[in-house]
C-alpha cells in the first residue's frame, strides 16, 4: 500500500497533465454515424478499420483499446500523439493523412483520419501483391524522398517498416502509423542509420541492388545538407548494406518460433496427430500423409511419399521442429527451398515438406551436371553466402532437383549464421555442399555455375565486377 501511495504521489502531476491535454482534445472535430466497410488491421490492443458515411465519404479509424487501466492510459497518450503528429506534419507539407478527429468511444480512444483511396502499402508492393504505379525504380525514389522529409522534420520513428508507407495511384509516397513516433529538434546520425538499415533490411531480398541504391541516393539528395552524415556517401551506402544484412538475418531468426504456434501461416491440428500444418492444407491428404509416415520403420527415412511431398521420419521431436522451422527461414530469406507442410509430434515425430514435382535428390548420378542445374545451384549457394547462412547438416539429401532443373534446399537440420562469409562467395565451399569439385566440371559447366554465383550474389557496381573477374580467372 505504501508503494502504491508513493507511486500515485509521484505521478499526480503527470495525470493532471493528461487530464488537461484530453480536456482540450474534446473540442476536436468528430464524425458520427459512420458505417463499417472493412477491417484493415486487427490486433489485441489496436485495430484499423475503414468506415463511410451516408454520402459515401470514407475515413480511416484507428482504435486503441487496451484491457488494463495502466495500458489504457498509455493508449490515450499514443492516440493523442498520433493525432498531434499528423496535424503538425500535414501543416508542414509532409505527405501524411489528414487528422479528422480524436475521441473516446466505448472505453477506447479513436483517431479518425483521411482515407487515401486507391493506395497500397510498400510491403504489398514489395511482395508483389499490388503493382507499382510508376515502376519499382520510381517508387523507390519516392520512398527515399519521403524518408528524407520525415528526417528533415525531426521525426524519430522507431517502428519504420514497409507496412508504414503507402504509395498512391499517382505514384506518390505517404507515411502512416505515428503512435510510437516523436519529434525532436535534430536527429542524430545514429537514428538516421537505424532507419536506413531497418528499411533496407525489410526490402533487401525483394529489391535489386540498383533499386536499393536508387532509394538511398534519393534519400541522401533530399536530406538537408546540415543533416547529412559526415561519412562519404559511397562508404555510408556500403555500411548500411552490411548493417541491413545483419539485421535481416537476426530478425528472421528471431521470428522462427512463429512457425510453432498458430499464426497467419500455420495452424494447430489435432485430427490425426499433435502438430502444425500450413493453412488450408487438405484434411484427407493430411490424413494420408500421417498414415504413410507412421507406417515407416523406426530408422531415418527422408524421401518422397507422393509427388511433390518429402517426408522425414525416424527423427526426434527436436529435429522435426528444426527441419520445419529452417524450411520456413529459408523461404523467408527468399531462397529456393522445400516449403513446410506439416509437423507431427505424436505418436512419433515426422515432418512433411513440399518440393517441386518430379524432383530427384542431388545424390542421383549426373543429376547436378546439367548446365541449368549448375546455374541454379550457384545462385542458391550465392544466396546463402549473401545472407551469411550455412547449412551444416540435413536429414537426407541437402539439395533436390526439380524436373525443370531448379535446385532447392531439402530437409535442413542445422542452418547456422556464418558471418565470416557474409556478402562474399566461396566457390570451393559452394561446390562442396553438393559433393562436387571444380576439377570434375567441364569448362562449360564451370561457366554455368559461375554465372549462377554472380546472379545470386546480390552485389552491384564495383563489387559485382570484382566478383566477375575473380570467377573468370579462378
Average pLDDT of the residues in 253-262: 74
Which pLDDT belongs to residue 23? 42
Do the domain assignments include residue 25? no
What is the end-to-end Cα distance of the chain in Å, rounded?
75
- 99 and 111 in contact (C-beta within 8 Å)? yes
Here the cell at position 347 is: 505418436
Which pLDDT belongs to residue 461? 72
The C-alpha angle 29, 39, 128, rounded to 5 degrees, equals 120
Residues 385 and 468 in one domain: yes
Cα separation, 59 vs 49, whole angstroms: 9
Residues 251 and 273 in one domain: no
For residue 347, is the peptide bond before it cis, meaning its omega torsion is within 30 degrees of 0? yes
| Helices 136-152, 209-222: inter-axial angle, 10-degree rounding | 30
Which pLDDT belongs to residue 147? 96
Does 287 score more than 70 pLDDT? yes
Most confident segment among 18-27, 96-105, 273-282 = 96-105
Most confident segment among 177-181, 418-422, 437-441 = 177-181
Rounded to whole angstroms, what are the CA distances from 159 to 62, 178, 180, 257, 268? 17, 9, 7, 21, 30
Mean pLDDT across the chain, nearest whole number?
A: 82
Here the cell at position 74 is: 498509455
Dihedrals phi, psi of 355, to nearest 5 degrees = -120, 160
Residue whose grid cell is 458520427:
32
Do the domain assignments include residue 289? yes
Burial class of 443 by CB neighbour count within 10 A (0 to 12, 13 to 18, 19+): exposed
Residues 245 and 320 in one domain: no
Q: How confident is the model at residue 8 (pLDDT cuts 50, 70, 90)?
A: very low
Which pLDDT belongs to residue 422? 58
Does 24 score more than 60 pLDDT? no
Which pLDDT belongs to residue 135? 92
Greater pLDDT, 298 or 13: 298
**35-89: per-residue pLDDT in tens?**
776 787 777 678 888 888 777 788 888 988 877 766 677 888 888 899 999 999 9
Residues 444 and 367 in one domain: yes
Greater pLDDT, 435 or 115: 115
- 102 and 47 in contact (C-beta within 8 Å)? no
Residues 345 and 428 in one domain: no
Question: Which CATH number goes with the domain that contains 73?
Answer: 3.30.200.20
Among candidate residues 354, 376, 403, the one where a domain is terminated: 354
- Between 33-42, 53-62, 218-227, 355-364, the lowest mean confidence (pLDDT) is in 33-42
Among candidate residues 354, 384, 406, the one where a domain is terminated: 354
Residues 292 and 350 in one domain: yes
Average pLDDT of the residues in 99-112: 87
Here the cell at position 369 is: 551436371
Which pLDDT belongs to residue 199? 92
**Cβ neighbours around 325 below 10 Å, total:** 22
| Helices 209-222, 233-254: inter-axial angle, 10-degree rounding | 120
Does 18 score more than 50 pLDDT? no
Which pLDDT belongs to residue 268? 58
Average pLDDT of the residues in 398-411: 90
- With the C-alpha atoms ordered 444, 450, 452, 454, is the resulting torsion angle positive or negative? negative
Residues 6+ away with beta carbon under 8 Å from 347: 273, 294
Residues 140 and 248 in one domain: yes
Which pLDDT belongs to residue 473? 65
The stretches of 11-54 forming alpha helices (DSSP H) are 12-25
Residues 6+ away with beta carbon under 8 Å from 338: 310, 327, 353, 354, 355, 400, 408, 409, 410, 411
Q: How confident is the model at residue 429 (pLDDT cuts 50, 70, 90)?
A: confident
Which pLDDT belongs to residue 295? 83
Which pLDDT belongs to residue 175? 93
Rounded to whole angstroms, what are the CA distances from 170 to 116, 142, 148, 187, 203? 11, 11, 20, 30, 22
Residues, the chain? 474
**128-152: per-residue pLDDT in tens?**
999 999 999 999 999 999 999 999 9
Most confident segment among 248-257, 371-380, 452-461 = 371-380
Which pLDDT belongs to residue 27? 37
Among candidate residues 114, 148, 168, the one where a domain is terminated: 114
Do the domain assignments include residue 149? yes
- 21 and 80 in contact (C-beta within 8 Å)? yes
Show the domain range for 133: 120-256
Which pLDDT belongs to residue 326? 92
**159-216: per-residue pLDDT in tens?**
888 999 999 999 999 999 988 899 998 899 999 999 999 999 999 889 988 899 999 9
Residues 438 and 389 in one domain: yes
Do the domain assignments include residue 74? yes
Q: What is the pTM of this model?
A: 0.79
Residues 340 and 372 in one domain: no
Cα separation, 288 vs 305, whole angstroms: 10
Do the domain assignments include residue 2? no
Does 408 score more than 50 pLDDT? yes
Greater pLDDT, 366 or 363: 363
Do the domain assignments include residue 14? no
Q: How confident is the model at residue 6 (pLDDT cuts 50, 70, 90)?
A: very low
Do the domain assignments include residue 308? yes
- Looking only at the bridges linking them, the beta strands covering 309-313 and 301-306 are antiparallel
Average pLDDT of the residues in 448-458: 85
Residues 244 and 267 in one domain: no
Here the cell at position 159 is: 517502428
Number of domains composing the chain:
4
Residues 46 and 153 in one domain: no
Residues 140 and 93 in one domain: no
The C-alpha angle 259, 260, 262, rounded to 5 degrees, equals 80
Average pLDDT of the residues in 13-37: 46
Q: What is the DSSP-derived secondary structure letter of residue 400?
A: E
Do the domain assignments include residue 22? no
Which pLDDT belongs to residue 256? 76
Amino acid at each position: 500500500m505504501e508503494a502504491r501511495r508513493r507511486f500515485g504521489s509521484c505521478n499526480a502531476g503527470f495525470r493532471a497533465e493528461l487530464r488537461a491535454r484530453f480536456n482540450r482534445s474534446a473540442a476536436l472535430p468528430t464524425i458520427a454515424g459512420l458505417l463499417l466497410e472493412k477491417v484493415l488491421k486487427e490486433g489485441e490492443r489496436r485495430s484499423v478499420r475503414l468506415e463511410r458515411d451516408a454520402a459515401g465519404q470514407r475515413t480511416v479509424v484507428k482504435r486503441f483499446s487496451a484491457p488494463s487501466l495502466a495500458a489504457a492510459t498509455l493508449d490515450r497518450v499514443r492516440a493523442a500523439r498520433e493525432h498531434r503528429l499528423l496535424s503538425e506534419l500535414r501543416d508542414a507539407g509532409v505527405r501524411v493523412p489528414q487528422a479528422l478527429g480524436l475521441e473516446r468511444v466505448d472505453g477506447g480512444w479513436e483517431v479518425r483520419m483521411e482515407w487515401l483511396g486507391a493506395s497500397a502499402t510498400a510491403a504489398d508492393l514489395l511482395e508483389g501483391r499490388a503493382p507499382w504505379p510508376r515502376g519499382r525504380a520510381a517508387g523507390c525514389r519516392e520512398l527515399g524522398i519521403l524518408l528524407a522529409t520525415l528526417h528533415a522534420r525531426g521525426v524519430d520513428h522507431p517502428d519504420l517498416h514497409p507496412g508504414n508507407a503507402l504509395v498512391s495511384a499517382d505514384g506518390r509516397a505517404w507515411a502512416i502509423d505515428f503512435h510510437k513516433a516523436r519529434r525532436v529538434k535534430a536527429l542524430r546520425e545514429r537514428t538516421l542509420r537505424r532507419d536506413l538499415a531497418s528499411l533496407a533490411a525489410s526490402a533487401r531480398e525483394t529489391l535489386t541492388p540498383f533499386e536499393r541504391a536508387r532509394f538511398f541516393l534519393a534519400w541522401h539528395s533530399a536530406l538537408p545538407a546540415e543533416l547529412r552524415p559526415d561519412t562519404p556517401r559511397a562508404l555510408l551506402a556500403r555500411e548500411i548494406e552490411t548493417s541491413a544484412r545483419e539485421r535481416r538475418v537476426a530478425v528472421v531468426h528471431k521470428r522462427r518460433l512463429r512457425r510453432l504456434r498458430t499464426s497467419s501461416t500455420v495452424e494447430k491440428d489435432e485430427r490425426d496427430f499433435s502438430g502444425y500444418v500450413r493453412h488450408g492444407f487438405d484434411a484427407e491428404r493430411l490424413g494420408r500423409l500421417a498414415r504413410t509416415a507412421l507406417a515407416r520403420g523406426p530408422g531415418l527415412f527422408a524421401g518422397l511419399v507422393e509427388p511433390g511431398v518429402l517426408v522425414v521420419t525416424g527423427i526426434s521431436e527436436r529435429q522435426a521442429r528444426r527441419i520445419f522451422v529452417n524450411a520456413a527461414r529459408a523461404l523467408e530469406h527468399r531462397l529456393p527451398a522445400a516449403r513446410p507442410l506439416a509437423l507431427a509430434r505424436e505418436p512419433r515425430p515426422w515432418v512433411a515438406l513440399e518440393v517441386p514435382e518430379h524432383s530427384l535428390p542431388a545424390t542421383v548420378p549426373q543429376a547436378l551436371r546439367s548446365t541449368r542445374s549448375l546455374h541454379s545451384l550457384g545462385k542458391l549457394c550465392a544466396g546463402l553466402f549473401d545472407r551469411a547462412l550455412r547449412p551444416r547438416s540435413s536429414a537426407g539429401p541437402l539439395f533436390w532437383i526439380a524436373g525443370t532443373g531448379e535446385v532447392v534446399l531439402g530437409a535442413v537440420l542445422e542452418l547456422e549464421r556464418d558471418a565470416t562469409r557474409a556478402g562474399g562467395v566461396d566457390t570451393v565451399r559452394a561446390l562442396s555442399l553438393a559433393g562436387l569439385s571444380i576439377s570434375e566440371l567441364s569448362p562449360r559447366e564451370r561457366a554455368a555455375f559461375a554465372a549462377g554465383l554472380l546472379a545470386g550474389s546480390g552485389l552491384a557496381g564495383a563489387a559485382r565486377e570484382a566478383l566477375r573477374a575473380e570467377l573468370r580467372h579462378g
